[in-house]
Amino acid sequence: MTLLIFIFTFISAALLAYLLYPFAEGRFRLWHKGRAEKITPKLDQIFIAVPYKKILLIDVLIPLCAGALAFYFSRAPLIAVLAAFSGLVIPNIIIQQLEKLRRAKFAGQLVDGLMLLSGSLKAGLSLTQAFEAMVEEMPAPISQEFSLVVRQNRMGIPLEDCLTKLKQRMQCEELDMIVTVILVARETGGDMTAIFSNLVITIRERSRLLGKVKALCSQGKLQGNIMMLLPIVFGYSVYKLDPSFVNILINDPQGRGLLIYAVISEILGIIFISRLSKIEI
C-alpha cells in the first residue's frame, strides 16, 4: 500500500512539473529578458561585449553559488534563500565598480590627452582631426570614448552635441571643464592651445590637492571603519565565549529592547560616519 501511494505521488508530481514547466520557463525567459535589457546597455556603455547566453549563465550561477555557500556555512535554509536572492544584485554591483574604475582611469588620462590635443592644434590640425589623433595615440578608455565622439560626428551629429553626450556618459568633473571650455571657445573663437595648457595646469593642481586631502583623511576613515566594526566583532566574540550573555538579550523583553536600540544606534553611527568621512572639493 505504501509503495502504491509513493508511486501515485511520484507520478502526480511528475505530471504537475510537466504541466508547469512551460509556464515557468516562459516566465523565467521573460524575467531574464528584462534583466538583460537593463544590464546590456550598461555593458555597452563601458565597451564590454557579453553574449546573451553568458549573461543568462552568470545570472543563474551567481545566485546558486551564493545560496550554496551560505547554506554550507550556516546550515540555515532561510539564510541560503536570502543569499541566493542577494546574488541577483551582485552583477549590478560588479558593473558599478567597473564603471567607477573606468571613470577613474579616464580621468587619469585627461592630462595626457589635453597635451596631445594642444600639440595637434599647434601642428595645424582641426579639432576633429586632433580627436582622431588622440584615438590613434591614446589607450582605452579615452580612445574608446573619443572614437565614439568622432563616429557620431561623421554620422552628421554636431560636435557640440557629441561632446555633451560624452560629458553625460562619463560624469567626470575634469571632463566637464574641458567640454565647457571647448564649447565656449568654439563660439567665441578663443585660442584653444593656450586654453588647453591652462587646463592641464588646473587639472594637475586639482589632482594634487585631492591627493593631499585623501592622505589627510585616510586616518579618520580608518578610525571610522574600526568604530563601525568594533561592536559587531565584540558581540560575536562574547557570543562565542559565553552564549548565555547574548541569550539574555534575546530571551528577555528588556534585553530585546536594548538589542533593537543597539542595532538602530549602530546603523545611525554607520550613516553618520560615512557622511562625515566624505569630503567634496
Asked which of 67, 88, 109 is the last residue of a domain, the reply is 88
* 237, part of any domain: yes
Give the whole-angstrom CA distance, residue 245 versus residue 239. 7
Q: Are residues 158 and 219 in the same domain?
A: no
Cis geometry, peptide bond prior to residue 77 (ω within 30 degrees of 0): no
The confidence score (pLDDT) of residue 251 equals 79
> Would you say residue 182 lies in a domain?
yes
pLDDT at 278 over 50: yes
Q: What is the DSSP letter of 88?
A: T
Q: Is residue 281 part of a domain?
A: no
pLDDT of residue 10: 47
Does residue 210 lie in a domain region?
Answer: no
**106 and 157 share a domain?**
yes
Q: Kindly report, residue by residue over 138-181, the tens digit of the pLDDT.
A: 888 888 889 999 999 989 888 889 888 888 888 888 888 888 88
In a domain, 12, yes or no: no
Residue predicted with more confidence, 254 or 130: 130
Residue-level length of the chain? 281
36 occurs within a structural domain? yes
Same domain? For 126 and 184 the reply is yes
**In terms of domains, do 146 and 185 share one?**
yes
How much is the mean pLDDT over the chain? Answer: 77
- With a cut of 60, say whether residue 268 has pLDDT above it: yes
**The model scores a pTM over 0.75:** no
Q: Higher confidence at residue 29 or residue 271?
A: 271
Residue 72 lies in a domain: yes
For 248, residues 6+ apart whose C-beta sits below 8 A from its C-beta are 255
d(CA 65, CA 84): 8
Pick the closest to residue 134 from 154, 109, 168 (CA basis): 109
Clarify whether residues 185 and 102 are in a common domain: yes
What's the structural domain count of the chain? 3
> Range of 179's domain?
97-190
